[in-house]
């Protein structure tokens, strides 16, 4: 959203580092229990991960201890009516996902192995829990230039798959008589698409807020989305605590595809995810997002907020969340604008997850965008996020002295609040895609992705330092290809780009060679990244990220680049056995990467 002549936005996330200070004892007790369960699951999976690496049963499904479980069953081929009928004999059928050759059912845990033995079954995984991974952002992303040319996302539908969207003045039509939320549906428990948590409305404001509640003579600052006339399709999958299920998200994605022609949906924005448990080729959520790509819908998703994770000295590497590990989608990391509209003082946010992805080693994120302390729409004064995390409040006196406040004894705005995290960087890329498709409707998702990545700015400092807000431990951060991807989102450059591609713009794979301790970019020569005559690795990602070459491959990493030659234990972990799944990282929307006071 724009702040005066600048933009703002944020993620739904109060800092993990601050949770102990802000949550009541009962909540802390619940978090402690959750952490204990996660630690137990991590230990179990470390022991059994290698044994089940080639199994048709997901490792986390093997760890289920209850008597029944909700499972997503994927078939080798589109199932016949007879096969679906047979599947019903194992348990209660809940939903059939035709696009990904899968079904959702509840069954006894004792039936899992028998079902896995069926040759028509490809893979079994649990119905996993899903949690949600602009004030100055328009100048930081170079968006304002193109708004002057009349581009506002007009006619473009952006599907927000999150916690619901409340109708606010900023999301109405210019005459305030109509709504630009053109469809409301729910895929979570209570089937109520209204917003109780707070993240979905905040995201919608970053995408399409038109500043109605911050425009006029009394306003010192204006908060406007980057595509302020786009339409919103509200597909609610998270409850008032920011939790949902994988099956609900898959159903929402398939519904967005069904609504494509009705609502002109050109972008799907799922600012949520879960830890990686298997290859993206088997992950049902990844398979669902891939269905949108060939029908002309761009999918932008969050990298995750685990950049501070340093278990086993990994320095935040290999912490990308699903579906951000899928090479088709656009995976977005986060930067901090440090309170100014100038790009020259920005840096990669410490919480932003880094690649390569677990198991497949896909080179993600693809690029980064502003994600810290972004101001956008407040769903209601009682939504979970602002009620639990007081530091998300925005002082109304900063932009409108005398405007309505949350309470008579408060100075907090009743219309806006601030959040941080990669969940909020995602709608900025969705905005860029919406503007690009309004400007040139014939573009394919591959062409949009290519232009965004090719034109991403290579301007951020190579090194930065920070202090963890919980432990106060100082740490260094490196702006390498696994932290920033191709660079910093530059909307003006992407919109002016005329580059064309003929092949899928798959994110490439990074391969580690233990003989030389080097990591190189490897990809199928039939895809866009492989054509060195047209692109060249240094053109796409910038020459500074490379450390020489091995044969025809560009070296993007050596163990000495991050850890030094004598301290390479973390390097070995990142590129180690894919069966040792580290699932102790679980995000919640309320813990989505908040940077506190610029930390």
Does residue 203 sit within a domain? yes
- Which of 5-9, 145-149, 249-253, 405-409 is modeled with the greatest confidence? 249-253
Q: Using 50, 70 and 90 to split pLDDT, how confident is the model at 99?
A: confident
Q: Could you write out the DSSP letters of every residue in 100-131?
A: GTEEEEEEEGGGHHHHHTSTTEEEEEE--EEE
Residue 464: per-residue pLDDT: 65
Q: Could you write out the DSSP letters of every residue in 278-310?
A: S-TTT-HHHHHHHHHGGGT-EEEEE--S-TT--
The C-alpha atoms of residue 392 and residue 419 are separated, in whole angstroms, by 6
Instruction: Name which residue leads in pLDDT, 144 or 158.
Output: 158
Its pTM stands at 0.81
**H or E segment and range at residue 71:** strand 68-75
Give the lowest-confidence range in 46-55, 127-136, 394-403, 465-474: 46-55
The C-alpha atoms of residue 185 and residue 165 are separated, in whole angstroms, by 10
Residue 465: per-residue pLDDT: 65
Could you check whether the bond before residue 365 is cis, i.e. omega within 30 degrees of 0? yes
Instruction: Name which residue leads in pLDDT, 63 or 181.
Output: 181
What percent of the chain stands above pLDDT 90? 36
The C-alpha atoms of residue 205 and residue 133 are separated, in whole angstroms, by 17
Check: CB of residue 220 under 8 Å from CB of residue 398: yes
| DSSP, res 216 | S
Q: Using 50, 70 and 90 to split pLDDT, how confident is the model at 125?
A: very high
Mean pLDDT of the chain: 75
Expressed in percent and rounded to 5, the helix, strand and coil fractions of the chain are 30, 20, 45
Which SS3 state, helix, strand or coil, does residue 312 take?
A: helix
Does residue 460 sit within a domain? yes
Residue 147 clears pLDDT 80, i.e. is over it? no
Q: Give me the residue label for tokens 């690795």.
A: 537
Q: Give whole-number Cα distances, 384 to 76, 184, 225, 240, 565, in Å.
A: 41, 20, 23, 6, 47
Residue 348: per-residue pLDDT: 77
Residue 572: per-residue pLDDT: 58
The C-alpha atoms of residue 285 and residue 287 are separated, in whole angstroms, by 5
Q: What is the mean pLDDT of residues 239-265?
A: 94
Half-sphere exposure of 498 (CA within 13 A, CB side): 0
Q: What is the mean pLDDT of residues 227-237?
A: 95
| DSSP, res 419 | E
Which SS3 state, helix, strand or coil, does residue 581 take?
A: coil
| DSSP, res 486 | T
Instruction: Name which residue leads in pLDDT, 448 or 555.
Output: 448
Does residue 496 sit within a domain? yes
Residue 234: per-residue pLDDT: 97
Does residue 467 sit within a domain? yes
What percent of the chain stands above pLDDT 70? 69
Does residue 106 sit within a domain? yes
Residue 557: per-residue pLDDT: 55
Check: CB of residue 417 under 8 Å from CB of residue 393: yes
Residue 289 clears pLDDT 80, i.e. is over it? yes
424-441 tens-digit pLDDT: 889 999 999 999 999 999
Does residue 409 sit within a domain? no
Residue 292: per-residue pLDDT: 96
379-411 tens-digit pLDDT: 998 899 888 888 888 887 777 777 777 776 677
| CATH code assigned at 225 | 3.40.50.200
Exposure b/e, 568-588, CB count within 10 A at least 16 = b: bebbbbbbeebbbbbbbbbbb
Q: Give whole-number Cα distances, 524 to 3, 295, 461, 519, 528, in Å.
A: 43, 23, 31, 16, 9
Residue 568 clears pLDDT 60, i.e. is over it? no
Q: Using 50, 70 and 90 to split pLDDT, how confident is the model at 142?
A: low
Q: What is the mean pLDDT of residues 337-345?
A: 63
Q: How many domains is the chain partitioned into structurally? A: 1
Closest Cα to residue 166, out of 417, 479, 452, 377?
A: 377
Q: Using 50, 70 and 90 to split pLDDT, how confident is the model at 515?
A: confident
Check: CB of residue 573 under 8 Å from CB of residue 313: yes
Residue 414: per-residue pLDDT: 82
Instruction: Name which residue leads in pLDDT, 572 or 83.
Output: 83
Q: Using 50, 70 and 90 to split pLDDT, how confident is the model at 453?
A: confident
Q: What is the mean pLDDT of residues 555-559?
A: 54
The C-alpha atoms of residue 425 and residue 3 are separated, in whole angstroms, by 17
Check: CB of residue 127 under 8 Å from CB of residue 284: no
Residue 491 clears pLDDT 50, i.e. is over it? yes
Q: What is the mean pLDDT of residues 340-354?
A: 74
Residue 518 clears pLDDT 60, i.e. is over it? yes
What are phi and psi for residue 554, nearest 5 degrees? -80, 130
Instruction: Name which residue leads in pLDDT, 96 or 479.
Output: 96
Which SS3 state, helix, strand or coil, does residue 240 take?
A: coil
Residue 7 clears pLDDT 80, i.e. is over it? no
Question: Residue 580's Cα: distance from chain center in Å?
Answer: 24
Residue 207: per-residue pLDDT: 94
Residue 555 clears pLDDT 60, i.e. is over it? no
The C-alpha atoms of residue 337 and residue 358 are separated, in whole angstroms, by 29
Tokens of 172: 């109405």
Q: What is the mean pLDDT of residues 166-190?
A: 91
Q: Using 50, 70 and 90 to split pLDDT, how confident is the model at 159?
A: very high
Residue 598 clears pLDDT 70, i.e. is over it? no
Check: CB of residue 300 under 8 Å from CB of residue 109: no
Q: Give me the residue label for tokens 């201890």.
A: 65
Q: Could you write out the DSSP letters of every residue in 420-485?
A: -SHHHHHHHHHHHHHHHHHH-TT--HHHHHHHHHHT-B--S-SEEEEE-TTT--EEEEE--HHHHT
**H or E segment and range at residue 70:** strand 68-75
Residue 178 clears pLDDT 90, i.e. is over it? yes
Give the lowest-confidence range in 10-14, 152-156, 166-170, 242-246: 10-14
26-55 tens-digit pLDDT: 333 333 333 334 333 333 343 333 333 348
Does residue 416 sit within a domain? no
The C-alpha atoms of residue 165 and residue 279 are separated, in whole angstroms, by 32
Residue 251: per-residue pLDDT: 95
Beta bridge pairs of residue 238:
none
Q: What is the mean pLDDT of residues 53-59?
A: 77
Does residue 211 sit within a domain? yes
Residue 56 clears pLDDT 80, i.e. is over it? yes
Tokens of 493: 């450059």
Tokens of 380: 């209601």
Q: What is the span of the domain harbouring residue 294?
A: 1-17+56-377+421-501
Residue 20 clears pLDDT 70, i.e. is over it? no
Residue 338 clears pLDDT 60, i.e. is over it? yes
Give the number of other CB atoms < 10 A from CB of residue 96. 13
- Which of 203-207, 502-506, 559-563, 584-588 is modeled with the greatest confidence? 203-207
Tokens of 519: 């990591």
Check: CB of residue 586 under 8 Å from CB of residue 131: yes
Closest Cα to residue 135, out of 435, 452, 416, 460?
A: 416
Residue 162: per-residue pLDDT: 93
Q: Give whole-number Cα distances, 508 to 355, 426, 455, in Å.
A: 12, 20, 17
């Amino acid at each position: 959203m724009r702040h005066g002549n600048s933009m703002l936005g944020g993620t739904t996330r109060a800092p993990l580092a601050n949770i102990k200070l802000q949550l009541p004892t009962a909540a802390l007790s619940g978090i402690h229990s959750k952490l204990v369960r996660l630690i137990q699951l991590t230990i179990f999976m470390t022991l059994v991960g290698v044994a089940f690496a080639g199994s048709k049963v997901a490792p986390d499904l093997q760890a289920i201890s209850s008597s029944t479980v909700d499972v997503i069953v994927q078939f080798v081929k589109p199932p016949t009516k007879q096969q679906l009928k047979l599947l019903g004999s194992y348990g209660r059928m809940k939903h059939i996902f035709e696009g990904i050759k899968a079904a959702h059912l509840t069954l006894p845990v004792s039936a899992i192995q028998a079902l896995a033995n069926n040759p028509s079954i490809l893979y079994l995984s649990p119905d996993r829990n899903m949690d949600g991974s602009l004030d100055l952002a328009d100048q930081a992303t170079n968006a304002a230039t193109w708004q002057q040319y009349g581009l506002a996302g007009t006619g473009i539908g952006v599907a927000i798959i999150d916690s619901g969207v409340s109708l606010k003045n900023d999301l109405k039509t210019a005459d305030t008589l109509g709504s630009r939320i053109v469809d409301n549906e729910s895929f979570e428990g209570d089937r109520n698409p209204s917003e109780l948590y707070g993240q979905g409305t905040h995201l919608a404001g970053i995408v399409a807020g038109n500043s109605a509640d911050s425009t006029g003579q009394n306003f010192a600052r204006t908060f406007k989305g980057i595509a302020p006339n786009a339409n919103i399709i509200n597909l609610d999958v998270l409850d008032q605590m920011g939790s949902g299920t994988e099956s609900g998200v898959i159903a929402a994605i398939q519904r967005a595809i069904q609504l494509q022609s009705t609502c002109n949906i050109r972008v799907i924005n799922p600012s949520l995810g879960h830890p990686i448990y298997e290859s993206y080729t088997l992950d049902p959520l990844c398979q669902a997002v891939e269905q949108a790509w060939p029908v002309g819908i761009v999918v932008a998703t969050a990298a995750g907020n685990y950049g501070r994770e340093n278990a086993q000295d990994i320095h935040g590497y290999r912490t990308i969340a699903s579906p951000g590990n899928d090479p088709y989608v656009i995976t977005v990391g986060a930067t901090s604008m440090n309170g100014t509209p100038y790009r020259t003082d920005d840096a990669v946010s410490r919480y932003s997850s880094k690649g390569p992805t677990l198991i497949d080693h896909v080179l993600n994120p693809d690029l980064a965008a502003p994600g810290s302390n972004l101001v956008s729409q407040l769903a209601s004064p009682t939504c979970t996020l602002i009620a639990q995390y007081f530091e998300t409040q925005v002082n109304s006196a900063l932009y409108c002295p005398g405007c309505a406040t949350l309470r008579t004894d408060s100075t907090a705005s009743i219309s806006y609040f601030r959040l941080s995290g990669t969940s909020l960087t995602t709608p900025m890329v969705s905005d860029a895609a919406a503007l690009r498709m309004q400007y040139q409707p014939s573009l394919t998702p591959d062409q949009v992705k290519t232009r965004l990545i090719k034109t991403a700015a290579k301007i951020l400092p190579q090194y930065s330092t920070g202090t963890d807000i919980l432990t106060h431990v100082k740490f260094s951060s490196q702006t390498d290809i696994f932290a920033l991807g191709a660079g910093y989102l530059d909307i003006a450059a992407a919109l002016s780009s005329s580059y064309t591609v003929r092949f899928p713009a798959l994110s490439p794979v990074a391969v580690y060679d233990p003989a030389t301790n080097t990591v190189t970019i490897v990809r199928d020569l039939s895809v866009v990244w492989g054509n060195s005559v047209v692109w060249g690795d240094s053109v796409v990602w910038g020459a500074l990220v490379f450390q020489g070459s091995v044969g025809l491959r560009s070296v993007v990493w050596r163990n000495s680049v991050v850890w030094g030659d004598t301290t390479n234990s973390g390097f070995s972990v990142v590129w180690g056995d894919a069966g040792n799944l580290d699932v102790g990282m679980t995000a919640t929307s309320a813990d989505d990467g908040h940077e506190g006071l610029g930390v």
